[in-house]
Amino acid sequence: MRHAALIGIQLSEFMKMTPREFHIYADGYSKRKELEMEEYKAKFELEQEVLIYQAYLISRWVWTKKIDIEKILKSKKKKKEMTDEQMLEQVKVLNMLFGGEVKSIV
C-alpha cells in the first residue's frame, strides 16, 4: 500500500487491482518520472549554456582594454580668446549660414 500511495493510487482503486495491473501502473509511473527527469536535465543544460554565453558576452564589456582618461583630457586643444570684432564677424557668418539677415544698427 505504501507504493500505491507513493504512485498516487487511491486505496479503493488499489484494492480492486490485480498484481499485474498494479505492476503495469507502477511501470508507467516509473517511465513518466524518467521522462520528466530527462526533460529537467535537458532544460537545465540549456539554461546552463545560456548563462555561460551571457557571462562571456558580459565579460567582453567588463574586461575590455582600459582607456587612459588623462591622455584624452590633455589632448584637447586650448581655446583662444576672440576679440569683440572677431566675435561679431563670427556671429554674422553663422547668421547668414542659417538664413538670417544682417541688419546694421546706426
Q: Note the pTM of the prediction, 2 decimals.
A: 0.46
d(C-alpha 10, C-alpha 4), whole Å: 7
Average pLDDT over residues 41-47: 90
Q: Tell me, what's the pLDDT at 10?
A: 87
CA dihedral 76, 78, 84, 89 (to 10 degrees): -40
Q: For 48-105, how does the pLDDT look when each residue is reduced to its tens digit (9 = 90+)?
A: 888 887 887 777 777 666 656 566 556 666 677 888 998 888 888 888 888 877 666 7
